[in-house]
Structure formats: structure tokens, C-alpha cells
Structure 1
Amino acid sequence: MSEIPKDLRFSESHEWVSQEEDGAVKVGITDHAQEQLGDLVFVELPEEGATLGQGDACAVIESVKAASDIYTPVSGEVIAVNQAIVDSPEIINNDPYGDGWLFSVRLEDDAEVEGLMDADGYGAHIED
């Protein structure tokens, strides 16, 4: 059973967001997504300073099984990327909600976060 933290919001395409105290939003892929992909071997992240629109394909994660586009669940400017996962993609497999985060965005519209699924909604989504 996949871990689904109650304090995060989730997209239908299996990304999570965490609102930080400084107003930024951290983005990653869910435990369910990393389980489906298997052992991760490559990560390509967006550039810092890039402006993303909600739903834009902005990153790529490759595993031994498949390559998968990552879609940003919120609009905003990329203010940080997690360089550690570029060097060691397996961090995402081991800690998708912690050290395995992908990038941070300076949010353009707080309502986009509220429009994402809560943990219960995401749990129902992955059961379908």
C-alpha cells in the first residue's frame, strides 16, 4: 500500500505539492508513482528561473522500465531544484516525500493548490 501523507495535495498525474512557510511550493512524485516506475536511473529537472503553467510537462524521470514526464501541478517560477536527485535518482525511490522532492515554485495562484486532491481523494484516485 502506498504512503499518502495527509498534509500534502496531489495531482491526477501523481505529483504532490507541499506549501512551505515562505510561500513557495515544493513538488515531487508520489510513493505510488515511484513504485509503478521501479528503480529510477535518470532525472531531468526544469531550469531555475523557468516559468511554468499548471499542467506543463517540466521534468522527466526514467526508470529501468520506462520514462515518464512530470507535470507541474501549479503555476509559478522555479526557484530551486533538487540537484541531489539528479546525481542519485534512487533518493526518490527511498524518500519520495522528503529528500526526493523535485523542485520548488514561487506560486502564482494559491487557489491552484486548493484545487488539487487531498490525501483521501488521491487514495480513491489510485484505487480506480
Structure 2
Amino acid sequence: MNITSLTKKQVAKSIVPQLEEQAYEMSLQTGLLKNYSPSSPITTQTEDNGFIPDIITTEKNGETNIYEIQLNNNINTEKWSFFAHFTKERHGKLHIIVPEPNLSAAEKVIVENDIRNVSLMYVPN
């Protein structure tokens, strides 16, 4: 498959079953796949509009993880920073999934913007 033709839906289709296998009691929301509740926007207390995660999981113990699929280099650093902080407060992590050729660009953005509590994953060519 040509990496440039990859869609968020295709990536979600491969990731969601793995997430469901790993967790015993977890709720999963995504607007990318049928049969799942879409994620609601996550907002701050001071702002009404927020960011909608591609995939969000919440464990029974409250641990929350966000999986953000980034298929191009047009990165919203404010969104990544916000999600990283949001998940840290909930004992989880922000997981960013990129195509393998974009891995170094994503790493650079994370370092330059001091985004912490993040796990970078890639989709192989």
C-alpha cells in the first residue's frame, strides 16, 4: 500500500482491535470507525471549543489514553501539548501514530516544543 494513500480510518482499523485486546475493562471512543461512539471535544475550563481526539480510551481505574493519528507534517503543537497534559492528569499518555517517513519530523516537533508524556509510534512503509 502506498503510504501517501493511507487514511486515519485504515490506521484506526488496525489499532483499535489491539487496544481492545490489551485492556480488560475499558471504554473506547472514536469517530473514525462505525459501531463506536465518537469522541467529544476536550476543552479547558476557560474555553468552549476544544480538540477532538482520534481515539480515546478510559480504563476502569480512570486511566485515560489518547491516540492521535498524524499522517502528514502539518502538526498542531497546541493540540499535542494539550492532549499530553490532559492524559498526564489522568495517569495515561498521548500516543502519536505517524507514517515511518514522518517519524523524525514528529520527534523534532516533540523535542522543540518540550511536549512530555508522549509515546511516538509509527506505521511501517
- TM-score, length basis structure 1: 0.23
Q: Which has the higher contact order (CA 8 A, sep 6+)?
A: 1
Task: Pick the structure with more helix per residue.
Answer: 2
- TM-score, length basis structure 2: 0.24
Task: Pick the structure with more strand per residue.
Answer: 1
Question: Greater CA radius of gyration, 1 or 2?
Answer: 2
